[in-house]
Amino acid sequence: MKVSKEIRKNAVDYSMNAITDICTNIGPRESGMPKEREAQEWIKNQIDTNGWADESAIEDFKVSRHALVGFTKIIGVFLIIGALLQLLTLVGNPALTLAVRIISLVLAVLSIVIVVLEFLFYVPFIDKFLPETTSCNVYAKYKPTGDVKRRIIINGHTDSAYEWTLMKIRQEVMVGVLAVDLLCALASIVIFSINIAKGVTPLWSVIFAACTVVAYIGLFFVCNFKVLSPGANDNLTGVFVAVSALKCLKESGIRYENTEVCALLTGSEEAGLRGATAFTKRHKGENKDVETYIIAFDTMRDYDYMTIYHRDMTGMVKNSPEVVALLDEACNDPDVNHPLPHGVVPFGASDAAAFSRGGFKAAAVAGQNPKYAPYYHNRRDTPDQMIPETFALGLDIALAAIEAFDRDQK
């Protein structure tokens, strides 16, 4: 049994209005802060009140909300201190010079370690040193008529991002600043190491270190903790693909025999995929008892750039080939008839990466121009920037994937 076009259209209209209501009445949803929880509770209430799921729960977890993007300011301090300390080598005191060389090298190496662990691998390395708050996921289940033999989870994240100041100008500006700073830090490590080995600090290396300070200042403008994105596209569109999938099944009277359909609305994705990671830990082993697929929907906005992501976390994590194949099947469904290209998340990560790394079979679908999205992670991501046609395509893919997942089981 298919979901009718009328029910799908009503779901799209409902979602556009719900997203507008959240952005207007609740506002931006900082990871692990009251507005994020308020939005999660509001959406859960919508699910419960309308009977779109048989059960739903809020699952709490701890988060250090400034760790992921806040590392840029931390390493900015480390790198600037290390560079300026090089000026003390001009004093001519041997003991002081040796200490400065070692401290500068340690600070530069530590900065690179933080970048690699926090950003490339999303490991909570500095989180333990920062203040913690409580974030939450919403997990809603639409049960089958019989025993649960397979489970498909549609995912979106509810929190919104801090404004990425440089990204607001152009993505290339932010990438360029980070690339220059990374090269300066790596060059400094090489130079400081050579100076320690040779026991000398040439004047040119001191001048170089002093010049890098100018580049490192850019790290303090990567993000602005005082301004948050409204997060209409990123990622309330993904959230309401998940919610609307349950809505459509319920209103169509569709209930599968052995396939459980779930909506997972994660918190603190923008803080480093912390909600998705918390889910994999809390529900560890459940994917072994019941075959479980997770599809993460993120930013249903740029129609021509809708993509299935088979690699994630800047290409460092491989998503599930089985889930990718399911999405291909869904896109070729007659009701969708819109094959999507496969891609690699080029910069950052989606929740699918955390699910995959946590042992779940997962993949992501996103609709965002990877080269330039003027609304991305800034104050322009407002409801008027949404494109219902793209959201509708995302919902169609989700519904077709759910149907194919149940059909393939038989």
How many other C-beta atoms lie within 10 A of the C-beta of residue 59?
18
Pair (190, 282) in one structural domain: no
Handedness of CA 221, 77, 116, 104 (dihedral sign): positive
CA atoms within a 13 Å half-sphere pointing along the CA-CB vector of 260: 24
Reference 277, options 61, 133, 70; nearest CA is 61
Claim to verify: residue 200 and residue 336 sit in the same structural domain: no
Token pair, residue 100, equals: 């400065």
Q: In whole angstroms, how far apart are CA 107 and each of 83, 85, 115, 288, 407?
A: 9, 11, 12, 43, 56
Query: Phi/psi class of residue 313: alpha, beta or left (left: φ > 0; alpha: ψ in -120 to 50)?
Result: left
Give residue 119's pLDDT. Answer: 87
Last residue of a domain, one of 222, 245, 262: 222
Instruction: Read off the pLDDT of residues 219-255 as tens digits, 9 standing for 90 and up.
Output: 999 999 999 999 999 999 999 999 999 999 999 999 9
- Do residues 44 and 144 share a domain? yes
Number of domains the chain contains: 2
Q: Is the pLDDT of residue 371 over 90?
A: no
Rounded Cα–Cα distance for residues 401 and 200 (Å): 64
Task: Count each helix (H run) and each strand (E run) in the chain, helices first.
Answer: 13, 11
Q: How many angstroms from the chain centroid is the CA of residue 260?
A: 25
Mark whether 199 and 298 lie in a shared domain. Answer: no
Confidence of residue 185 (pLDDT cuts 50, 70, 90): very high
Q: Which domain holds residue 251?
A: 5-65+132-164+226-409
* pLDDT bucket at 410, cuts 50 / 70 / 90: low
- Name which of 157, 233, 230 is nearest 391 in CA terms: 233
pLDDT of residue 277: 98
Query: Is the pLDDT assigned to residue 1 strictly greater than 70?
Result: no
Q: What tokens appear for 380 in the block?
A: 């322009």
For residue 181, what pLDDT band results from cuts at 50, 70 and 90?
Answer: very high
Q: Do 183 and 282 sit in the same domain of this protein?
A: no
Q: What's the rounded Cα separation, in Å, for the pair 235 and 157?
A: 6
CATH number of residue 148's parent domain = 3.40.630.10
User: Which carries the bigger pLDDT value, residue 276 or residue 372?
Assistant: 276
Residue 90: pLDDT band with limits 50, 70, 90: very high
Let me know whether 347 and 297 are in one domain.
yes
Strands (DSSP E) contained in 6-69 are 55-63
Asked if 326 and 372 sit in the same domain, the reply is yes
Residue 198 near residue 89 (C-beta atoms within 8 A): no
Verdict on whether the full-model pTM lies above 0.85:
yes
pLDDT number for residue 364 = 98
Average pLDDT over residues 174-186: 94
Task: Give me the mean pLDDT over the 307-320 stretch.
Answer: 97
What mean pLDDT comes out for the span 86-106? 95
Half-sphere exposure of 396 (CA within 13 A, CB side): 22
Domain co-membership, 52 together with 123: no
Return the pLDDT at 96: 95
For residue 170, what pLDDT is reported? 82
Asked if residue 314 has pLDDT above 90, the reply is yes
Least confident range of 189-198, 206-215, 333-342, 370-379: 370-379
- Taking the C-alpha atoms of residue 340 and residue 196, their distance in angstroms, rounded to an integer, is 53
What whole-number distance in Å separates Cα of residue 348 and Cα of residue 69? 11
Q: What is the pLDDT of residue 311?
A: 98
245 and 195, same domain (yes or no): no
Place of tokens 């692990």: 32
Q: Which whole-number Å values give the CA distances from 330 to 152, 173, 192, 326, 362, in the listed order? A: 13, 37, 55, 6, 15
Q: Which position has the token pair 């923008």?
A: 270
**220: which 2 tokens?**
């303090």
pLDDT tens digits for range 51-68: 999 999 999 999 999 999
Answer yes or no: do 160 and 172 share one domain: no
Element (H, E) at 266: strand 259-266
Tokens of 331: 């896109």
- By DSSP bridging, strand 224-228 and strand 162-163 are antiparallel
Kindly state whether residues 357 and 398 are assigned to the same domain: yes
What share of the chain has pLDDT > 70, as a percent? 100
Residue finishing a domain among 203, 222, 241:
222
* Each residue's pLDDT tens digit, 109-161: 999 999 999 988 999 999 999 999 999 999 999 999 999 999 999 999 999 99
Q: Identify which has the larger pLDDT, 260 or 346.
A: 260
Backbone phi and psi for residue 108, each to the nearest 5 degrees, phi listed first: -70, -45
Residues 240 and 108 in one domain: no
